[in-house]
Structure 1
Amino acid sequence: MADGSGTRETAGTAETTGGRSRQDAMADAELRRRIGSSGTVDVRLDTGQDPAGAGPARRWDGLAGALVSGDPRVDHRLPYSVLGGPGTGKTSLLVDTVVNFLDSGGTADEVMVVAPSKEAAAALRDQITDVLRARDTYATTGTMVRSVHSWAFVYLRAVAQEDQTGRTAQPRLMTGAEHDLQIRTLLRGHAEDGTGQWPADIRPALPLVGFARQLRDLLLRAAERGVGAADLSELGARHHEPMWSAAGDFLREYGQIQALSATNNLNASELLHTTLAMLDDHPEVFDRHRGKIRLVLVDDAHNLDPASGRFISRFMVPGVRSLVAGDPDQCVFHFRGADETFLTGVAAVEDRRIVLSRSHRLPGDLVRAVNVLESRLPAHPTRVMLRDGGPDGPEGPEGPDGPDDGRAALAVRRSPSRTADTLTVTDEIRRAHVIDGVAWDDIAVIVRSTADIPVLRRALLSHGVPVKVDPTSVVLADQPLVRVILLALDALVRPLGGPEMQQLIESPIGGADPVMLRRVERAVAPVLTGTGMRAMDAVTAIVTGQATAEERERWTARFGPREHQVVERVSRVIEAGRAALEQKTSTSPVEAVLWAVWQAADLSTSLQVQALRGGTLGSQADRDLDAVMSLFDLAGDVVERTPTATLETFLEDVRSQELPTGGRDRRGVRPDAVEILPAHAAAGQEWDVVVVAGVQEDSWPAGPTVGGLFGQQELVDLVDRGIPPEIPVSRAAAALSEERRLFLLAVSRARLRTLVTAVDAAGDDTSVPSRFLDEIGGVAAADAAGSDAAADAETAAEAAEAAETTVAPALPRVLALEPLIAELRDVVCDENRAGHERDAAAHNLARLAEAGVYGADPDQWWGVAPPSTTGPAVAPPRGGAAPAVRISPTTLETLDDGCDTVAFLRGLTGGASTEAMKVGILIHAVAEGFATGLDYDDARDIVAAAVPYLVDGPAWTAAPLAESCLTAVDRLHTWILEREGLGRTVEVERTLERTIGTTDGGLPIVLAGRTDRVETDADGRTTVVDFKTGRTAKTKKEAAESRQLAAYQLLVDGEPGMTPDGAMLVYPRRETSTVTVLQQAAMGPDELEEFRALAVDAAARVTGPVFQATAEDCESSDYACLCPACRAGEQVI
């Protein structure tokens, strides 16, 4: 009952009779005539320009037209609802209502437009601004459009400002990342101090990030429902839920800490309840502000939580024009507390309901797909089935259904692999841009979760597609440029390690690549010979200013201009930051230091130029600039919150934030790039072309969300529905409906075309396409069968079940230059292809080369140019010495295994840094320490502390590795003590070197190696000991014939005062009770001469420049990918 009189609805049109004057009845009759007999609103685009020149004007009929125009005969004692599916014009109706209100003399201060999020508010604000921009006579200083939290903050701040008692502190809204950090910090204190009321079996989980996330989720759900600390504890005690009681105690302590900090920090959930309570306590302030509001409009009301609905309802009083728009079938934020109850409550009044059923965005196929999905959702009285837009529907460049290329507006593509799926997405986007002329920023890729974004982003960028990723999808500290800037700031407060300095030099700040960094290290290394100092340590000292002037001059003596430039760039940044840090100020130096570092890096201009040029590099530059701006925003927030914050505190704050957070968007235009975003972020947005990628059964639909450790969902059921937690509730159906609504939202974002992709790998049970693909797969078949726009949803669904969709080829061809050139080159070089095909490919390559396309000219192909040299591959001479071929005992051992290539490459690179190699370095260091006086207990402590940093696998593997290493230390210590009893002179890590011959070209061959341990008795008889830290050992025969041990004996033979007395391999880590020792007998003069000749021949094998590829057991080699004899290297070029 709207006014106490009888009401009825005729075809959705409000009709009121009885209890009113004759004049009112005549007015109602006129209004009914204008509304027409159908309550389904008809909206048309007027092809003429509106009076203000703002573009095509929309014309609304019926009740919608009366509300938009502000007809005085419309009763505004209760709010009106606007219901409609995707693209039916709900937002447009609100925009036109605002514009007409302002044209009629209203002001922005009298308008309250509410959106569920700041992103939705920004989009709605832009739409209104686009219309008002053409009106020269209109200007305003007010903000009409805000998110619901922004409106709540406005009124909460107004109350705080007008509070004469001074007891109300100015509110401050926290980000989700900051709230998460505060919770984790307090939990860490509970874990360390043993405080808090947590159950004993739960305490080990307190420091874990997942525990803090679940606790935060519970607190947010409680705050959204007005459940405070005492209420939560009481509910836990009443229903025997100890985690609720403990969370209530935690919330009480959290509130006490906030009170002690003298700040009024609020998260989004607390903000609304705090505002409502404050407005109740200060009704005079609220009434004064509410009295100014004459128009209240709410968009996407289905995404509001109950507290938001109560807040907005405060403004929808009799006499205020109020419209609430939404679609319950698009509510996809239940996990954040959203509830369509507010919308359905307003829409329950039937004579105040406006129904928009014609979609002006979606082509016919997509309209039918949406109806199919909606027909499978739980029924509700406010559902609106879509009608096809028809001739007045969306018009693309080539007509109402988009480009006339024979492609359907909705396509489903199944690929046999994830790679093929990624290429399918890439090809669709490139064809839409290149062939159909769709702008990059009018294309979007929607995925189920942020975890799916990186792979697609890399694929698109590699094919020349500029990409935009919402910053809220990536943690700020994980942004590449931010990570580098934080590293530069680290250099101001602590010494950087070698790997960290390497990362800084190879970053945009240093501007070096790995080759240039290697040149820097090689220039420094000869000067450090005999000092025991690593080249990277010297470079670090130069860059950070720790080197003296004399050391800097000596270490950089071999630098060229480019090497000097790289080092100076990083050094300049660190010096600028240090100078800013040393300035004495009364406030935090964080912002000043950050600005000094950024300015000295001199990246802003280059990034700005790249961003403005667009393309793939432009999209990355745009992303980097956004990340840096967010970092500055965070620095400002930290200083504002804690004026005395130190640089160390700021760095810890940034790195401690585990949740992505959006920055302040200052851009006036959208970047010209394809956006990749998770499905939830697509709410309220639209593009010309949309690809919904990776729709798999295991992720879409995802399984039902359980209450977790804290029973969050059980708390929601108890508070919202009165279901006690002890009653089992199945959430499978609700979860499936939520996932179907999310999929519906994703496929209804495109104006021209939507492509849905999935992986359907034969024989792979983990790659199953989603059931949703079968539901929408037959809409085209339904159309071919003759179903019209008003087809029954059941008919469409049956057709969907019977239809088949397209299966993509094994590896789709992508419409891009790189794969095109690759295919043409493959045809040209394939002698088995037909002659005319090779001629055509060569002709096309020539045309591309003439156009300047890189890679089309054969001169640019790898493997086509002649070798750069036919001489021996000899390392550059060191310290001015003459060129020589240098081999090591290890190289000779590798050659004995049969692979010349591995021996050569390992001599250059040293091999990959594996866990086994790192363990070996640690054990060798302990052995050296024992020989030079290292205490046994100290050695064990060092090993126990170092092992956790050596593991490459899961953290739990550190414990068994530590046990194995400590056992090796024990055995090694016992063995070395026994050897010391022999009375021999011991040397460790001694370098032995000897010229053993010359090559055919006259180059000397130098055998050189560093021994682990050399023992010499009083007669000069010398034994070489080589420690092996592997778990497996050679056989006695293999050790007796070992080329490595023989090489050591040959080196000893060349030392004055030494005679070879054999060599041994010592294994301290084998699964035996003692150290395993394998001997090689002393070699006589004839044996040594025979081995010297063998070593000279081996040296010729490792100087190349041509190496024999041998099909040995080397598939696990670090260099298998470079060897054509291995599967991994069958095609090197």
Structure 2
Amino acid sequence: MTDGQQRNRTDGPPQLQLEEPTREAVEHEYAGLPLALVTNDPSLQWETPAVVLGGPGTGKSSLLVDIAVQHVRDGGKAEEIMFVAPSKEAAAALREAIFQRVVDQEAYATTGALVRSVHSWAFAVLRAIRIAEGKAAPRLITGAEHDIHVRTLLRGSVEDGAVSQWPEYVRPALSMVGFARNLRDLLLRAAERGVGSAELKDLGEQHGVPMWSGAGAFLEQYEAVQRLAGNDNLNASELLHQVLAAMDTPTGRRIHEDLRHHVRLVLVDDAHNLDPASAQFIESFAAPGMRTIIAGDPDQCVFHFRGADEAFLNQQVARSTTVVELSRSFRITSDVAEAVNALRDHLPTQRARVELRGRDATDPGVQVLASSTETAQRLHVTNTVRRAHTERGVEWKDIAVIVRATSDIAPLRRTLMSYGVPVKIDSTSMVLAQQPLVTMLLLAMESTVRTLTPGETQTLVESAVGGADPVMVRRVQRNIHAAMRAHGRTADNAWLYLSELLQDPRAERNAWMMEFIGPREHDIIERISAVMMAGAESRRAGDSVEMTLWKIWQATELSTRLQWRALRGGTGGAQADEDLDAVMNLFDMAGDFVERNPQASVATFVEEVRAQELPTAGRDRRGAEGNALEILPAHAAAGREWEEVVIAGVQEDHWPAGPTVGGLFYQQELVDLKDHGVDPRQPHSRIAEAVQEERRLFLLALSRARSRTTITTIKSAHDAPQVPSRFLVEIGVLNHDDVDGDEPLQVGETVSTDVPRILALDPLIAELRDAVGDESRDLAERRAAARNLQRLADAGVDGADAAQWWGVRPPSTTERIVDQGPDGPEITLSPSRLERIDGCELSAFLSAHGAVAPTTMHMRIGNIIHAIAEHIAGGLSLEDAQLTMRTMLPQVIDGPQWMKDRYVEEWMEGIERLHKWINSVCAEAERVETELSLRTHVGHTSSGISVHLVGRADLVTHTSESTVKVYDYKTASSLPSVKDAEVSKQLMAYQFILSSNSVLTPAGAALVFPFDDSSKSMTVRNQAEKTPEQLQEFSNDLLNLAEHSAGPSYSAQVGPACSNCDFATLCPAQSEGKMVI
């Protein structure tokens, strides 16, 4: 599907055509020792395992698959094979490869998965032992769940004051997320090495590391809590040590012996990534005489941080009498193979290393693209993948972008999707509760037990169910505000009333709001309300958490729409796939939650989902792979391959990244102590070993592509200088001068420092439009560009038709922007708009006619303070005023809790100043009025427009001499000067309106600033009483401003307000807006 079709397609259901899946069962040819392994040659000796060595793409996994397939074809049973894969994803791929080869075997059948990860095999053994012992089966928990348990227990310790095991200097940090994450990391590293609570405490005391002792005591408490709860929860790090201990019991030895008796063939893939406990588990099955084949490459060991150690593979090589060395790569080209070998030369010598030979190919191998900025680098990545897809016909699913860290994924994803590239993200890089569709469903569930906050209500309105864009959000707010004004309601925020309305729009209590709701806004409210009411009805019916979630999901009516979108493909399809995967993962979590806690509430479930702040991979039920490019961190690329690969961000201090430090808990020191016997009190540098690990990781990424590998880097000498990675010098694509010099990179044709011309529709249309409109270009070139634009417009491509271009179409109107009153055209001005009109006509026009963004946080704070001030004048006590502020303010502040607490603390003093000042002013006045509506007729402009001045005064005081003074509250922190206040048009407008009343005499006006904490007293900026001559001159100014504000053309004026203007992108006086026309 082309970008034009993607953009202009209809929303109807796609036409589906079911096809029989094509299975590509590849038969490999072997000779020599590999053939002997496949055929199980009788001459082979199995006193020690056979070892298969080889670099990336040399066929190690394929050889193991062929051995398993031949075992089945020779009459062996699938249950007799113990095939150990490095991960569950790799296991699934290997199972599929085996199935494709044996699907035509009538005798083939299996009662279980013959390929599993080492943790899956270990869990199966442990479960069998526990059941045989009459105990409950263990449960393997995710990292996110483990994180919750650690944080919950720490929080409980703080609340109970049970913190004595921790050093005094860290106790204030116990409740912080960072402390819990570091503690969990230490516990995982300890579990991987079989270090229990007692040993961890002893190590802390022996080596003078009190944090280890505290962590040991915490682990002891954690295990006690788990036992008291009757839970047998295990994380992946504990699993292997638990199963090894269980296998050493009488029941365990019997179960283990029975299992080993049934196994005839042990296959281990990527053995370099096994930790010592995993290796011990596998060795317990691979006894002498057992047919065992182990494959690996020590240079691809990139999981040392998880305890992986290539020592097991090296030991097997040293012991084995059958070692197969595969040197020819069937994946990478000769150029890439040379780069891999060059990189290996900088790694420590390995006995198990095999020199790599690439395949002959015409592909360019490795290409380097250098940029001067992060933005330019992302554009290079986008252009590279789009050209691979468009020019070379590579499917999106056969392209990958590999990055060093998960933090690099989000900005790349945004850039790629903005240019029409469908993108999928590895699920282990995303937090479930942060997915937009999941956020919406969780809010809908929460609405069944509590009233949503204004921010949460707005999230629902903007969600996939509400479907409101920023303009529609603003319209909804205005409608609610109109209803509030019409019915005399005062509130700080329209979303508070909207939250109540959404619970039941048809309820009689909400009729006063529905009167002001337009048809489009009504549809939004009805859709959201249907979802919330479905949840409420399910809860009243006593449904389980899972059933409540199901009824809410049904009420959204998103299922079919997302299915259609996913089937169409493209960027929208990729996003729909991601949304559906997230919903499925949420249902999986709900099902597991209900199974463990049948009586738990909706609130408890929502809290648990939100508490899981670590990415967690869900169950993958997809029968087919979506056609989308994948962005993934380098570690996730292990064991995988694509047609083309882009490695992004290969510069110093990013790749290689800096060495990992031990942190607060000295995790790295514990690893060094247990793995290498290094005393934690002995200082030593880890830079060399960290760089070696990064080099292995780069080698892994470099060897994933079957045809092209493109590397992007940054070279910049700006404020934050960046230089290409040393690894690019090591593989021979750059030299030292390129990296260290000040000049831009210039290495043949492989390096580009310019922003690329991206092969996508939007840049193409922009370039063609530029050519058509550029009078300095050759006429033939301009005509050719016009013809191409016409062809695109005929195909329905958005933006190609000249009738759609801004600046080309005639003005929408040449009439003046005025209202039609009973006596002809009229215009209404307000005091607060006068200075904006005088400062910039264009900004004033845009803000007055619907171009304003939704209310900001500071605007919402201002609404609250004005409402409180009004009630203070009516007799509200200081305690009640501060209580109202403490209750309402946090609901309208966008930000973390510490920010909310800071604003509340600051405004507590502000409310106290405001309360004291208002009471003082009211005591001196004979009478006061609040929120007083003011109106007067100014006159007629030279063109005959009737001008009215209308405003609302926050506070008006009356004296016995019939003089009045107007006060206007300002909640901003910036103060005008005394001189500026004296000439303020807003204050002068108030005086002008009051002077038009023959009974009243204005005694000046003032601006009041309760937020200013520079002094304990209230800051007030006064404007003196104006003379009749000054007011007459002001009247003339008003008529002149009204003439200009009537349009139809408006001038853009540069001034101090430009720095905070919301309309810079529409303003021809600003660089951002010049490109619009």
Same fold (TM over 0.5): yes
Shift of 1:859: 1.1
The 2-side partners of 1:946 and 1:581 are apart by: 28
Q: Which amino acid aligns with 1:568?
A: E
Alignment of 1:114-513 (within 5 A): 114-163=84-133, 166=134, 168-196=135-163, 197-281=165-249, 282=251, 283-390=253-360, 400-402=361-363, 408-513=364-469
- 1:767-790 superposed Cα distances (whole Å, 9 cap, x missing partner): 221111122243999xxxxxxxxx
Distance 1:680 1:565, change over 3 A: same
Shift of 1:982: 1.8
Aligned to 2:14: none
Q: Please state whether the residue corresponding to 1:997 is helix, strand or coil.
A: strand
Distance 1:367 1:1037, change over 3 A: closer
Deviates more, 1:480-489 or 1:758-767: 758-767
Q: Which amino acid aligns with 1:1009?
A: G
- Which of 524, 537, 550 is matched with 1:579 structurally? 537
Shift of 1:210: 1.4
Instruction: Check conservation: 1:1012, 1:1027, Cα contact below 8 A.
Output: yes
Aligned to 2:508: 550
The 1-side partners of 2:913 and 2:466 are apart by: 46
The 2-side partners of 1:539 and 1:966 are apart by: 28
Shift of 1:998: 4.8
Aligned to 2:843: 902
- Which of 833, 836, 839 is matched with 2:780 structurally? 836
Instruction: Check conservation: 1:635, 1:650, Cα contact below 8 A.
Output: yes
Deviates more, 1:289-298 or 1:850-859: 850-859
Shift of 1:1067: 3.7
**Percentage of pairs with the same residue:** 51
Q: Is 2:495 the counterpart of 1:540?
A: no
The 1-side partners of 2:89 and 2:1017 are apart by: 68
Q: Is 2:782 the counterpart of 1:815?
A: no
Instruction: Check conservation: 2:474, 2:853, Cα contact below 8 A.
Output: no
Q: Which amino acid aligns with 2:1060?
A: S
Alignment of 1:1045-1064 (within 5 A): 1045-1054=987-996, 1057-1064=999-1006
Shift of 1:667: 0.7
- Which of 802, 808, 812 is matched with 1:858 structurally? 802
Aligned to 1:890: 832
Using the size of structure 1 for normalisation, the TM-score is: 0.87
Q: Please state whether the residue corresponding to 1:141 is helix, strand or coil.
A: coil
Instruction: Check conservation: 2:158, 2:174, Cα contact below 8 A.
Output: yes
Shift of 1:666: 0.4
Shift of 1:947: 6.8
Q: Is 2:634 the counterpart of 1:679?
A: yes
- 1:531-576 superposed Cα distances (whole Å, 9 cap, x missing partner): 225654443322212x673344443345454333222111111111
Instruction: Check conservation: 2:48, 2:320, Cα contact below 8 A.
Output: no
- Which of 697, 717, 734 is matched with 2:672 structurally? 717
Which consecutive residues of structure 1, in runs of 5 or more, have no partner in the other structure?
1-51, 391-399, 403-407, 782-800
Q: Please state whether the residue corresponding to 1:100 is helix, strand or coil.
A: helix
Alignment of 1:426-825 (within 5 A): 426-528=382-484, 529=486, 530-532=488-490, 535-545=494-504, 549-584=507-542, 589-778=544-733, 806-825=750-769
Instruction: Check conservation: 1:777, 1:805, Cα contact below 8 A.
Output: no
- Which of 1004, 1011, 1022 is matched with 2:953 structurally? 1011
The 2-side partners of 1:888 and 1:910 are apart by: 17
Aligned to 2:926: 984
- Which of 808, 815, 823 is matched with 1:871 structurally? 815
Instruction: Check conservation: 2:73, 2:105, Cα contact below 8 A.
Output: no
Distance 1:334 1:949, change over 3 A: farther
Aligned residues: 1039
Using the size of structure 2 for normalisation, the TM-score is: 0.92
Q: Which amino acid aligns with 1:1121?
A: T
Instruction: Check conservation: 2:935, 2:951, Cα contact below 8 A.
Output: yes
Q: Is 2:878 the counterpart of 1:936?
A: yes
Q: Say which structure, 1 or 2, has more relative contact order (CA 8 Å, 6+ apart).
A: 2
Aligned to 1:996: 938
Distance 1:99 1:542, change over 3 A: same
Q: Is 2:1045 the counterpart of 1:1102?
A: yes
Q: Please state whether the residue corresponding to 2:400 is helix, strand or coil.
A: strand
Q: Which amino acid aligns with 2:217?
A: D
Aligned to 1:14: none
The 2-side partners of 1:958 and 1:649 are apart by: 25
Shift of 1:940: 4.8
The 2-side partners of 1:689 and 1:631 are apart by: 33
The 2-side partners of 1:556 and 1:803 are apart by: 67
Which consecutive residues of structure 2, in runs of 5 or more, have no partner in the other structure?
1-21, 737-744
Q: Please state whether the residue corresponding to 2:226 is helix, strand or coil.
A: helix
The 2-side partners of 1:912 and 1:563 are apart by: 15
Instruction: Check conservation: 2:370, 2:714, Cα contact below 8 A.
Output: yes
CA RMSD of aligned residues (A): 2.8
Alignment of 1:21-170 (within 5 A): 55-163=25-133, 166=134, 168-170=135-137
Shift of 1:932: 2.1
Instruction: Check conservation: 1:414, 1:805, Cα contact below 8 A.
Output: no
Shift of 1:288: 1.1
Shift of 1:201: 0.8
Deviates more, 1:1026-1035 or 1:89-98: 1026-1035
Deviates more, 1:263-272 or 1:517-526: 517-526
Shift of 1:815: 1.0
Aligned to 2:9: none
The 1-side partners of 2:518 and 2:927 are apart by: 45
- 1:394-426 superposed Cα distances (whole Å, 9 cap, x missing partner): xxxxxx444xxxxx1111111122222111111
The 1-side partners of 2:708 and 2:90 are apart by: 23
Q: Please state whether the residue corresponding to 2:924 is helix, strand or coil.
A: coil
Deviates more, 1:134-143 or 1:485-494: 134-143
Deviates more, 1:731-740 or 1:562-571: 562-571
Q: Please state whether the residue corresponding to 1:807 is helix, strand or coil.
A: coil
The 2-side partners of 1:361 and 1:421 are apart by: 27
Shift of 1:278: 1.1
Instruction: Check conservation: 1:778, 1:802, Cα contact below 8 A.
Output: no
The 2-side partners of 1:668 and 1:1031 are apart by: 58
Shift of 1:346: 1.0
Distance 1:516 1:895, change over 3 A: closer
Distance 1:493 1:694, change over 3 A: same
Distance 1:594 1:766, change over 3 A: farther
Q: Which amino acid aligns with 1:216?
A: R
Instruction: Check conservation: 1:233, 1:244, Cα contact below 8 A.
Output: yes
Deviates more, 1:945-954 or 1:534-543: 945-954
Q: Please state whether the residue corresponding to 2:110 is helix, strand or coil.
A: coil
Shift of 1:1072: 4.2
Distance 1:181 1:1026, change over 3 A: same
Deviates more, 1:202-211 or 1:1120-1129: 1120-1129
Shift of 1:704: 0.8
Instruction: Check conservation: 2:843, 2:1052, Cα contact below 8 A.
Output: no
The 1-side partners of 2:645 and 2:457 are apart by: 43
The 1-side partners of 2:592 and 2:215 are apart by: 28
Shift of 1:209: 1.4
Q: Please state whether the residue corresponding to 1:57 is helix, strand or coil.
A: coil
